[in-house]
Amino acid sequence: MRRFSTALLAAVTLSGALSAVPAQAHDRQPPLGIADCTATACHFDVPPGTYDVTVRLGGATASSTAITGETRRSLLPETAVAAGAHLTRRFTVNVRTPEGEPTGPDGTPGLDLALAGSAPALAGIRVTPARHARQVILIGDSTVCDQPADPYSGWGQQLPQYLRRGLSVANYADSGESTVTYLQNPQLWATVQPLIRPGDLVLVQLAHNDKTTDEATYRANLTTLVAGIRDKGGEPVLVTPIVRRWFSPDGTLNNTTALLVNGLGVDLPAVVRSVAAAENVALIDLTAKTKALVESLGAEGSKSIYLYNEKRDNTHTSVHGATVYAGLVRDELLARHLVPKGTVRVG
**Percent of the chain residues topping a pLDDT of 90:** 90
Task: Output the CA–CA distances (angstroms, integers) from residue 243 to 94, 145, 238, 295, 310, in the order listed.
Answer: 28, 16, 16, 10, 19
Q: Which stretches in the chain have pLDDT values below 50?
A: 1-28
pLDDT tens digit sequence for 4-27: 333 333 333 233 333 333 333 334
Chain segment 226-248, per-residue pLDDT in tens: 999 999 999 999 999 999 999 99
Q: What is the pLDDT of residue 346?
A: 85
Instruction: Look up residue 325 and give its amino acid.
Output: Y
Q: Of 181, 244, 191, which Cα lies nearest the Cα of 217?
A: 181
Strand-strand pairing, 122-129 and 167-171: unpaired
Q: How far apart are CA 74 and CA 189, in angstroms?
A: 25
Question: CA-CA distances (angstroms) from residue 23 to 33, 133, 184?
Answer: 11, 22, 44
CB distance 44 to 111 below 8 Å: yes
Contact 90, 18 (CB under 8 A): no
Per CATH, which fold does 1-131 belong to? Jelly Rolls (2.60.120)
Reported as type and span, the H/E element at residue 86 is strand 86-95
48: closest CA among 128, 135, 130, 109?
109
**What is the C-alpha separation between 207 and 267, in angstroms, rounded?**
10
Write the class of the CATH domain 132-347: alpha beta
Burial of 312 (0-12, 13-18, 19+ CB in 10 A): exposed
Phi and psi torsions of 51, nearest 5°: -130, 140
Q: How far apart are CA 180 and CA 165, in angstroms?
A: 34
pTM over 0.75? The answer is: yes
Looking at the chain, the domain(s) classified CATH 3.40.50.1110 span: 132-347
303 phi and psi, to 5 degrees?
A: -60, -35
Q: What is the pLDDT of residue 29?
A: 58
> Residue 171: enclosing H or E segment and its boundaries?
strand 167-171
Residues of the chain with CATH 2.60.120: 1-131
